[in-house]
Structure 1
Amino acid sequence: MSAAEAAGGAAGFRRALAFEWVKFRSTRSTVSTTAVMAALPVPGAAFVAGTESLQPEDTVLGGSLTIAIPAMMLAAVLGALVICGEYASGTIRTTFAAVPRRGTVLAAKAALVSGLLFALALPAATGAYLLGDAMLGPSYAQGDPMPALLGVAGAFAVAGLLGLAVGTLVRHPAGAVTAVLGLLLLPSMLGPLFGDAERWVAGISPTAALEKLTQTSDATPESVGSLGPWPSLLLVAAYTALGLLAATALLRRRDA
């Protein structure tokens, strides 16, 4: 690739990213979903601490991030809405007219979703932990917040990318949201049906990676697999990347 082609590709990506940001902040559904997702962890931590519902064997980190799973579900829904909303409204044709390279469009959406979710999830999770620590005091084990909080923010970003991949493949908003929520919830729900294989079935879910990162006492090897938190997150990131590659290939082939 020549220097001119590389410069043109970079300029095209920057243009696509700027275009995506304008659409994102001007769409009510994406803005409201993002706001609720970012706001959930802190009041969740206050509720757990205020009701003294933390289990004796749990950690402050795990208890403070009890509501992280519903928040991560919203992150995945957000990723799906970023592209499904355009298919539903028909603006995807305008997007492809402005940026003809469809792979660049999807890359810009992925950069926006992952960067924004990480940037919002990290302070939200950190704030929840600090509030829980202040309210719960020394009665419980603290857990190891760093680098676990970075992993939690990363899990939110990966969930958003998973939603984007599913949304690109499905295109219909309701269908994509249903599919991505199923990917998050069904492995842990169906795991007990597989007997000794439960730990492997349940362990492939993004929610399993999140539970391990938050160090909750519910994240036992029997229920969410025997992989450690970081290998579990890497596994989820790997099949999310494969999903995005498949979505890119399909996006290039079919009509808008």
Structure 2
Amino acid sequence: MTATHYSSVYATGANNNTFGRSFASELLKLRHRTLSLNVIVFAILLIGAPSASAFFSRSEAEGFALSVQDAVGGFQLYLLLAIIIGTLAVTGEYASNTMRTTVLATPRRLVGLLAKVLAVALYTALATIAIITVAFLIIFIIAGGNSSLDGNDVLILVTLLGLNVLTAVMATGLGYILRSTAGGISMMIAFIFLLPLVTLIFAKFDTFRYYVPPNLPLVLMDTALQANQGMPVSDDMLVYPPLVAFLIFGGYTLIVTVLGYLRYEKSDV
């Protein structure tokens, strides 16, 4: 269906809705109740679980210290949070039928999409940083001021933040494609978490086993984080450097976002 391009007083002239105004508007939209409640629930889980684990670990072992695993261990929960943020940022508007208002306010759809993507990226980054900071502060206190963090661990934390932001942006792009909250979240979960299980069926084929598993989203993220949680790495499997794995996952995000833009640009709202 061909998209209907509306015109409004905000399209041109002194009332032109600039990118800055669109970005500020998209940030305000992310303050809605459903999304805030989800962030609070995930924050409680991501702060409470490692803090409780740290409390009991300290009582059972001497020399307990804050480590990067206190964040990386909950990485999949961070990804779920990012998926929910990115999906709801778009599908919430379609569900409440306010996307037409957004298009009237920002007729240039590429500008509107970029503003939303940037707002989602910033919101996700700030939420992730806040959760990690509070969790680390509590664990640091429980550990009696002991920390084993080093320069490489800081790089891993930055990578975790970047992957979380990319996941949220990918979910935003998929939200524009599917326009369904349940569909968007389910598809993202299947793509990231379930795809490695499905591909195990074909693992007996040497060429498939060498090239495909290393390019799966969860394996790429584990590689970027210098971890091996998504799928065991064997000698007959292609292994990427962490930076290359991060960039490939970023490429997936770019592809989904471009497809989301094409769907948004060419379809009516």
TM above 0.5: yes
Q: Deviations over 1:180-234 (max 9, x none)?
A: 1111112222232221445654433443344345444536524996223322121
Taking a change above 3 Å as real, the CA distance of residues 34 and 87 of structure 1, as seen in their structure-2 partners, is same
Alpha-carbon distance in 2 for matches of 1:123, 1:28: 19
Gap regions ≥5 residues in structure 2:
1-12, 58-65
Gap regions ≥5 residues in structure 1:
1-6, 53-58
1:16 aligned counterpart, secondary structure: helix
Q: Is the 8 A contact 1:83 1:171 kept in 2?
A: yes
Alpha-carbon distance in 2 for matches of 1:187, 1:76: 16
Say which one has the larger Rg. 2
* Aligned residue number for residue 252 of structure 1: 265
Per-residue deviation at 1:170?
0.4
Pick one of 13, 16, 26 that aligns with 1:20.
26
Q: Deviations over 1:106-139 (max 9, x none)?
A: 11110001112112213433554565566579x9
Q: Is the 8 A contact 1:79 1:162 kept in 2?
A: yes
Per-residue deviation at 1:94?
0.8
1:170 equivalent to 2:178? Answer: yes
Residue identity opposite 2:37 in structure 1 = S
Alpha-carbon distance in 2 for matches of 1:29, 1:36: 11
Q: Is the 8 A contact 1:84 1:171 kept in 2?
A: yes
* Greater relative contact order (CA < 8 Å, ≥ 6 in sequence): 2
Structure with higher helix content: 1
2:239 aligned counterpart, secondary structure: coil
Q: For the aligned residues, what is the CA RMSD? A: 3.3
Per-residue deviation at 1:81?
0.9
1:241 equivalent to 2:254? Answer: yes
* Aligned residue number for residue 96 of structure 1: 103
Alpha-carbon distance in 1 for matches of 2:69, 2:96: 40
Alpha-carbon distance in 2 for matches of 1:48, 1:215: 22
Residue identity opposite 1:34 in structure 2 = V
Seq. identity, %: 22
How many residue pairs align between the two structures?
243
Q: Is the 8 A contact 2:85 2:124 kept in 1?
A: no
Per-residue deviation at 1:86?
0.8
Per-residue deviation at 1:246?
1.5
* Aligned residue number for residue 3 of structure 2: none
* Aligned residue number for residue 114 of structure 2: 107
* Aligned residue number for residue 72 of structure 1: 79
Alpha-carbon distance in 2 for matches of 1:92, 1:215: 40
